[in-house]
Structure formats: structure tokens, C-alpha cells
Amino acid sequence: MNTLIVISVLPIVLLYLGLYKAKNALLPVTIVGLLVALGLAVSQWNVDAQPIFSGMMLFDKYAIAFSSISILSTILILALSKEYFERISSHVAEYYAVILFALAGIIVMVSYHNLSMLFIGIEIMSVSLYILAGIKKTDFASNEAALKYFLMGAFSTGFLLFGITLIYGSSGSFDLDVIRDWALTHTAKTVDPMFYTGIMLMIVGLCFKVGAAPFHFWTPDVYEGSPTLITAFMSTTVKTAGFAAFLRLFSTCFASLADLWTPTLMVITVITLCVGNVTALYQQSFKRMLAFSSISHAGYLLFAIVALGINSGNSVFVYATAYTVASIIAFAVLILVQQQSGNDNFESFNGLGKRNPFLAFVLTVAMLSLAGIPLTAGFMGKFFMFGGAVAKMQIWMVIIAVINAIVSIYYYFKVIIAIYFRDAERAELVAPGYVNVVLGLSVVITLVIGVYPNLISNLIP
Amino acid sequence: MEKFFNIVQSVPLNHYILLSCILFSIGVIGVLTRRNAIVIFMSVELMLNAVNLLLAVFSVFRNDPSGQVFVFFVMALAAAEVAVGLAIIVMVYRNTSSIDINVLNKLKW
């Protein structure tokens, strides 16, 4: 709870700092504030959690774990932002403030205990992101991304709300516990058709938000058009929070009616995996490839919800952590490369291995982790996901997913080949110290989780 | 207020649900078929208002005020979205002198 208060007050402080032209204080204050929020979240770990604010929020271990990973990834992304926003505009304080407002929405999203808080959290986050997608005011691609994201986001909110309303209409409450008790008194055969429609509409709304096919069509355009740093935020922190909210809803409320919605989600998962991976194969732009790869990773994350079990929370957590740190590395290197060559095609990475061995190494580790090669965190994430699905006897789903994982190796290795086996006459990239710190930390996390997954794989009871 | 609730309840619940579904569908069709950003935006508002109507009706039929409170949240959100959305549309208009979404085709797969 204190975490949320700190993260809500911090952006207002930042706006005042911006007002009094204290530009150099912005980043340190943000990072210190977020570290305080992180500490407050972790200090609640052993407290027996009860719903607070009249049953609106519940800061249990699940919420704390996902809040922590969201705050950590935001810190890593903001550490990359030094001098990034200054190049876009002179009003820097607003960008930090809006990112933190989005983070406040994310904290609400992962710790809600009432459907109204789910809705409010998603909207605080989304409205902030509409602004962030369009922060390059004169850049046409950024404009287009903002408008597309806004129209699609508002559209999907309509579906989510209609779903919430129908569930309210049949169960009589927005509270997750009351809805769960209502669902327990019904079986898949006797359930109200209104409730069933409500679940389906909520799946549509949430799949829009996390970018799962067939509701993914906005993702590549928005990810490509937005400034790269914002894309990094959207595809890591926001996606993790979306899945945390998705899983919390389905594992708390609808687990007893799994027969109703599992077939729908299975179809969505398979389509998401295939669309994401196959389209990523023939992308020329690294940024757009990452956008499609984020769609395919949404497919792997959906496995946890399709094969809902006691370990779903843990597998989503491990997978999301692995995916987040690897993506942050990829986007950080992309920002540096983009500044030098002016575009984000694969050719821009040619010869990176000779010029910048460290950058080449970390990017290689990130690509291996995203592809799911052993000894990296990405492998452990996929391992837990598939393990859960096998335990639920969904063998053919796992087979399709493994085929897709093999396909994905092709486009991730395209980057590695460009780095080490293609040459280009370019000057050496100068990576600032703070970028190296972020990259080093991310690589260490990726490798440590890849070798000792037990460190984080049993956190959530 | 009691009298008003009785009047609302004199119409069967199914009729309200049907009306909301029709309004919601009109909104969805509007978003999918129209090409003007403002009209799409209006269609989204129609979807949200269909939801508001249904929430208020459920709330009256169940004698539970939380549905009506939710309507206020939806309205507040709709206002916030209008502010941000119109700002984005103005920004696009300044750069392209058009709000036709077919102009937005620079990013393609």
C-alpha cells in the first residue's frame, strides 16, 4: 500500500522539480524514490495479507513479487533514459512523471481485489501510455503510433467493461472473492449465459491489452512508431503487468469453470504463437522483429493461464523476469545502434562483434535467452511453462510451442550472425557508463536465473 | 428515489440487456467501418455509455449501489480519455492536415 502511495506522490514531486528547472535532480530523485517504493514492497513480504481499502486491493506475495519486478524493470529502463528525453523535447520532467503514473497503474493492476480496481489500474496505465507513445510531437511515425494505440486501447476498454458488467449482473458483485464463491456454486453446464459471455468479453479485452493474436494487429505498428525507450517500457513492464492481472483474475475467480474458457484460450494461444513467430521471420527491422517476438512471447505466457495450476503464478513470474531483462538488453543496444546508423535494420548491427565486444556479447546472451537456449533465464521460463502444460496433459499444445520455439531461433540468430559474421565500416559505439551498468546487471540476472532458477521459482505460494 | 426505482423495475431486465447490446454493437460497428478519427472516437463513447446504462440497471435490479459507483468511474475515465484522445487527434491534424485514419499508413507489415 505504501508502495502505491510513494509511486503516486513521486511524479507530482517530479513535476515540481521540472517547474523549478532542477533538471539534473530528476533522474536521481526518480531512482531513489523507486528504490524506496521497492523496499517498502519487499518489507511487506512476510506480513499476512488481508484485503485493504474495503476489499479493493490485496498486497499478497503475488502482488509484491510482480510489483517488485515491475519497479525493477522501470528503474533499469529509466537508467537508460539519461539524455534520451532531452533530445526529444525540453520538457523532460513530464516524461518521467507520466512513466511513473503508468507504473502506479501497473501496481494497482497487479494487486487488485475488486474488478473496479482492475479497470482503474488498466486505464491509469493505458492513458499514460497513449501520451508516451506520442511524445515525439513532430514525428509522423510517433503520431501514428499514438493515434492507433489510443483508438485500439479505447476500443478494447469497451469490451473489458462490458465483460465486467455482465459478470456483475450475474454474480452481483465486483469483489473477486464473491465472484469466486458464486462461480463455485455453478458448474460449466448450469452457469448463466450472461456470465459466460462476460468471461469471453473479458478475454477479448485483456488479450487486446497484452497483444495476443488475433487482437495483436496494433502491436507492431505501435511498437515501431513509439520512441525506442517507450517501446522497451511497453513490451516489458506493461506486458508483465497485463499477464499478472490476467492470471490473477482467472486463477482467483474463474478457475472452477475452466472447462468453459480453456478451449477459447487454447485457440488464442496457438494463433498467437504461430502469427508472432512466422511474421517475425521476414522482418527487416530489428525493432519490428522485437515487436513480433513480443507477440510470440505473449503466446508462451498464455500457457500459464491455459494450464492453470498452483504453479502458474511462479511460471509467469520466471518467464516474465527472463523476458523483461533480455528485452531491456535488446532495446538498450538498439538505442545505441540507432543513434549511430540512423535506422534499426539488421544491417546496422553488422560488425558489432569486432567494434564493441561487450555490447555484442550482452546482445548475444539476450538473443539466446529470448530463443530459450539452456543456461539462460529464457530456457528456464519456457521449461516451467511447458512443464505446467504437460502436467495438465496438453501434449499437442507443447508440441506446437516447441516447433515455434525452433522457428524463433532462426530470426534471433539472424542478429547474432550480423554481429559476428558480417563486416561493416563503422566507428566504434561509445556506450555511456550507466548503459554498461544496466547491461551488465541484466546479463548477470539472465545467467544467474538460467543456472539457479530456484532462486525465484518458488516465491509465490 | 424509491418511486424511480419502481419505474425502472417495471420494464423487464431482458429488455435493458437487449438495448445495451444493440447500442454496444452499433458502437463496435462504428469503430470498425468509419474512417474519421472523431467518428471512431464517438463510437467508442457509445460503447462506454451502453455499458453505463447496463451497470445502472443491474444496480437498481439488485439493490446494490456499487454498480452506480462504477458508472462514475467509467465517466471519469471517459473524460480523461477525451482529453488525451482529442490532444492526440489535434497533434495528428497539425502534422497531416487530416484526421482520416487511412492517412496513417506509414507503418506497415
DSSP secondary structure string, A113-153? SBHHHHHHHHHHHHHHHHHHHT-STT-HHHHHHHHHHHHHH
Nearest-neighbour CA in chain A from B3: distance (Å)? 22
Burial of residue A53, with CB atoms counted within 10 A of its CB: 0-12 exposed, 13-18 middle, 19 or more buried: exposed
Rounded Cα–Cα distance for residues A190 and A390 (Å)? 29
Rounded Cα–Cα distance for residues A169 and A281 (Å)? 45
Residue B54 near chain A (CB below 8 Å): yes
Instruction: DSSP letter for B102, please.
Output: G
**Closest partner CB to B106 (pick from A144, A173, A220):** A144
Please report, in tens digits, the pLDDT of each residue of chain A (461 residues total).
Answer: 789 999 999 999 999 999 998 888 899 999 999 999 999 999 988 888 888 888 899 999 999 999 999 999 999 999 998 878 888 877 889 999 999 999 999 999 999 999 999 999 999 999 999 999 998 888 888 998 999 999 999 999 999 999 999 999 999 999 999 999 999 998 878 888 999 999 999 999 999 999 998 899 899 999 999 999 999 999 999 999 999 999 999 999 998 888 889 999 999 999 999 999 999 998 889 999 999 999 999 999 998 898 888 888 999 999 999 999 999 999 999 999 988 888 888 888 888 888 889 999 999 999 999 999 999 999 999 999 998 888 887 888 899 999 999 999 999 999 999 999 888 777 788 888 889 999 999 999 999 999 998 888 888 87
Interchain contact, A143 vs B92, CB within 8 Å: yes
Q: Look up residue B4 and give its amino acid.
A: F
DSSP SS3 for A112: strand
Q: ipTM of this model?
A: 0.95
Set of chain B residues whose Cβ sits within 8 Å of the Cβ of A129: none
Query: How far apart, in Å, do the first and last CA atoms of chain B sit?
Result: 55
Per DSSP, the residues of A246-293 read HHHHHHHTSGGGHHHHHHHHHHHHHHHHHHHHHHHHT--BHHHHHHHH
Interchain contact, B84 vs A148, CB within 8 Å: no
Residue B36 near chain A (CB below 8 Å): no
Q: Look up residue A1 and give its amino acid.
A: M
Residue B55 near chain A (CB below 8 Å): yes
Rounded Cα–Cα distance for residues A296 and B2 (Å)? 53
Rounded Cα–Cα distance for residues A62 and A243 (Å)? 12
Residue A172 near chain B (CB below 8 Å): yes
Peptide bond into A374 cis (omega under 30): no
